[in-house]
Structure 1
């Protein structure tokens, strides 16, 4: 009868578990989700809204619509341009048109040097929809030599989202007017 020591059984079990884990890990998608996709999954756990139409096409026309080949941006072009227009007064640290993410650096208003603001903006859809943009606003106040987090007025993010949506509608109407000429 073959006797296997306790230590050998443990090593055999550990090796088998490691091999199984590596095998299962190899079956997954190798591309991690973008930040916008991750935000979209957290906000809409029961369905995707990123699969809509209306994004910008950088390298040709949309394949789905039969207009040729190309890869498009995953966000609405009007929302993207409106977001950049609306946040133009703030220093932008990151602007990712493929993921729909715009991150600003701290901005200190000229009339209020003891406070500063920062904005994280996520465009979540290819369609011009009211729920296609999410804004997070952060505020800090200067206390002595240190900056301390401070509360932001409750309607600040919503007001910024409304401004972006209004600008996006203006851009869409202006493009439609040019197309009718």
Structure 2
């Protein structure tokens, strides 16, 4: 009797899931944009914006499609990646994940310095931009000062821009 209830419950949940997947594409939060006059700024914005219905829309059939393999594509900026390795070459590399854009460094003392630092660098975006780089810097006694972190980020970004300018395949 218990297995019969379990099967009925699972069948009911499967039917409810199938019905929920069959939406008509409308949402109670969508606004009717055809009501009333539309300003020129709104028309320009609509022309430069992809339709909301198609942007980021997925279906259950996307699971079976031959989309891009996330294990093959690398979404990090190669100039920031290489500049980070050049600037922080005094630190030992502990872990690297090029697909996620993370480099974890162990403790190392910079040339001419007396304090040992350890860093975790996260390259978030393929763009050569300051927002693409996130550095966490720590000493043995706690987090490093924000000025030191900012100076390190500036050095990495400056070197990345130099590497980009030197690249002949641009």
The interval holding the TM-score normalised by the smaller chain is 0.5 to 0.7
- Mapping for residues 150-165 of structure 1, pairs under 5 Å: 150-165=142-157
2:138 aligns with 138
Measured in 1, the distance between the counterparts of 2:169 and 2:92 equals: 33
Find the counterpart in structure 2 of residue 58 from structure 1. none
**2:62 aligns to what?**
none
Residues 30-49 of structure 1 deviation map (CA, whole Å, 9 limit, x = unaligned): xxxxxxxxxxxxxxxxxxxx
Question: For 1:103-114, what aligned pairs fall within 5 Å after superposition?
Answer: 103-108=104-109, 112=114
Query: What is residue 126 of structure 1 aligned with on the other side?
Result: 126
The structural deviation recorded for 1:153 is 2.1
Q: How does 1:81-120 map to 2 (within 5 A)?
A: 81-108=82-109, 112=114, 115-120=115-120
Contact 2:110 2:116 in 1 (8 A): yes
Distance in 2 of aligned mates of 1:118 and 1:74 = 24
In structure 1, what is the Cα distance between the partners aligned to 2:107 and 2:98? 21
Q: Tell me the SS of whatever aligns to 2:122.
A: strand
SS at match of 1:135: strand
Residue 47 of structure 1 is matched in structure 2 by none
Deviations 1:42-62 (A, max 9, x none): xxxxxxxxxxxxxxxxxxxxx
**Paired position in structure 2 for 1:35:** none
- Structure with more of its chain in strand, by fraction: 1
Whose radius of gyration is greater, 1 or 2? 2
Distance 1:164 1:156 in 2: 12
CA distance in 1, matches of 2:165, 2:88: 21
TM-score (norm 1): 0.51
Please report the TM-score for the alignment, with normalisation by the length of structure 2: 0.54
State the number of aligned residues.
112
Runs of at least 5 residues in structure 1 that lack an aligned partner in the other structure = 1-7, 25-62, 65-70, 141-148
CA distance in 1, matches of 2:89, 2:110: 13
Structure 2: stretches of 5+ with no match in the other structure:
18-66
